[in-house]
């Protein structure tokens, strides 16, 4: 069972971004299936993968959106995501079980950010311009 499933309502209208969002959802679904069995090492590996992949993805989005008048707001949402993952990693280092917090944060962030912020920002961008 998938916890979060792609449908066209998630599309921001730019294929390169959509395909990365689909991949993020796949990572998230794979992770949520394992979460109850995941130990400290798996959670460490996941936070690392998330930071790496989201860093790359956010850089690409911000490059596409660099001339958008509210780009700073968009960047601040990306930064909040990174900060939250970093603070969960700190909890993990301190011996806390972060599985539940991590799962609910990721699902709600992905839904909120893609459906609201990304869609709003990309709707003002011409696909030709984003190449
Ligand atoms: Fe974004």
pLDDT tens digits, residue range 72-110?
Answer: 999 999 999 999 999 999 999 999 988 889 889 999 998
pLDDT above 90 coverage of the chain, percent? 55
DSSP classification of residue 124: T
| Ranges of H-type helices in the chain | 15-34, 40-64, 71-93, 99-112, 119-123, 127-130
Q: What is the pLDDT of residue 127?
A: 52
pLDDT at residue 128 above 50?
no
- Tell me how far the alpha carbon of residue 105 lies from the centroid of ligand 1, in angstroms: 15
- Tell me how far the alpha carbon of residue 14 lies from the centroid of ligand 1, in angstroms: 12
Distance of alpha carbon 88 from alpha carbon 47, whole angstroms: 8
Distance of alpha carbon 25 from alpha carbon 106, whole angstroms: 10
Least confident residue range of 1-5, 16-20, 100-104: 1-5
pLDDT above 70 coverage of the chain, percent? 94
What's the chain's Rg over C-alpha atoms?
A: 15
The residues near 115 (Cβ < 8 Å, ≥ 6 apart) are: 9, 10
Q: What is the pLDDT of residue 24?
A: 86
DSSP classification of residue 4: S
Q: Which residues surround ligand 1, an ion (CB under 5 A)?
A: 61, 118
């Amino acid at each position: 069972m998938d916890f979060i499933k792609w449908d066209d309502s998630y599309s921001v209208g730019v294929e390169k971004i959509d395909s990365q969002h689909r991949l993020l959802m796949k990572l998230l679904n794979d992770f949520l299936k394992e979460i109850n069995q995941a130990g400290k090492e798996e959670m460490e590996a996941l936070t690392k993968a998330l930071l790496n992949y989201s860093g790359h993805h956010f850089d690409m989005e911000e490059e596409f959106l660099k001339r958008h008048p509210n780009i700073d707001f968009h960047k601040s949402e990306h930064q909040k995501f990174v900060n939250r993952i970093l603070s969960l990693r700190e909890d993990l280092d301190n011996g806390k079980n972060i599985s539940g917090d991590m799962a609910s944060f990721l699902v709600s962030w992905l839904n909120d950010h893609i459906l609201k912020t990304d869609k709003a920002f990309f709707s003002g961008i011409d696909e030709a311009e984003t190449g």
